[in-house]
Amino acid sequence: MSSKLIRGLTLLLVLVSLASFPLPLASSPQLSPSTRAKLIARAEQVTGDKFPIVTSTPQGVTVFAVTTPSKDVLAAIDQGFNDLFAVARRHGYQNRLSFSNYTVFIARPDRTKDSAGQYSPDIAVAAGQYAGGYYDQGGYIYAAGMVLAFNPSAFVFAEHERDFARISNVVRYEGEHIILYYNDRALYEKTADHSKGGGHPILQ
């Protein structure tokens, strides 16, 4: 498998900055009704889905989903955050290391296989800064996941029916952007936009 394809499988986008999606600072892990409504509206705008299911993982990550996620999916989300927090602590980071800091949206996939025929539930989004590049599929790209907001810290990925370890990887990789935003802004700025190259994992 080529390195480009590997990067493509883990292509993760920071679509929304605090400037374009301002939300009030959350004083507790619970989202206020207005913040919750804005966050859901943003996820619906990006994916075109509705998220009628709200639940949480065993470790306390808030989850909005199009259908009820299985125990395996919820466990995979927690495993991804476990991996993320472990590597963050190795780097001496201290901020945003609580499961309750995070909200995850699980959307319907726009594809379930990549161009090589491998299982790859992904979401189609406008190409934006990736237009004309390797990932451009004709005005759009497929993303494994996308950061929706930094405060509250939220991202979205597509439903998986199998290969739940891939969910853990997506969670870890999306979370890297948020961890870096709160702990190492210089490295965040260098790695937020993958259109110039690079990929995940950022933190080793």
| pLDDT 10s digits, 37-61 | 999 999 999 899 999 999 999 999 9
The reply to whether 203 falls in a domain is: no
The reply to whether 197 falls in a domain is: no
Q: How confident is the model at residue 161 (pLDDT cuts 50, 70, 90)?
A: very high
pLDDT at 9: 36
User: Which residue in 165, 123, 159, 168 sits closest to 144, CA to CA?
Assistant: 123
CA distance 121 to 142: 9
Share of the chain above pLDDT 90, in %: 59
CA angle 96, 99, 100 (to 5 degrees): 90
> Six-digit token pair at 144?
């494994």
Query: How large is the average pLDDT for residues 57-84?
Result: 97
Secondary element (H or E) of residue 71: helix 71-90
pLDDT at 134: 52
The reply to whether 9 falls in a domain is: yes
Q: State phi, psi for 149 to the nearest 5 degrees.
A: -165, 155
pTM: 0.82
Q: How many domains does the chain have?
A: 1
Query: How large is the average pLDDT for residues 102-130?
Result: 84
Domain residues for the domain of 110 are: 3-191
Share the mean pLDDT of the chain.
Answer: 81
pLDDT at 198: 58
The reply to whether 201 falls in a domain is: no
pLDDT at 8: 36
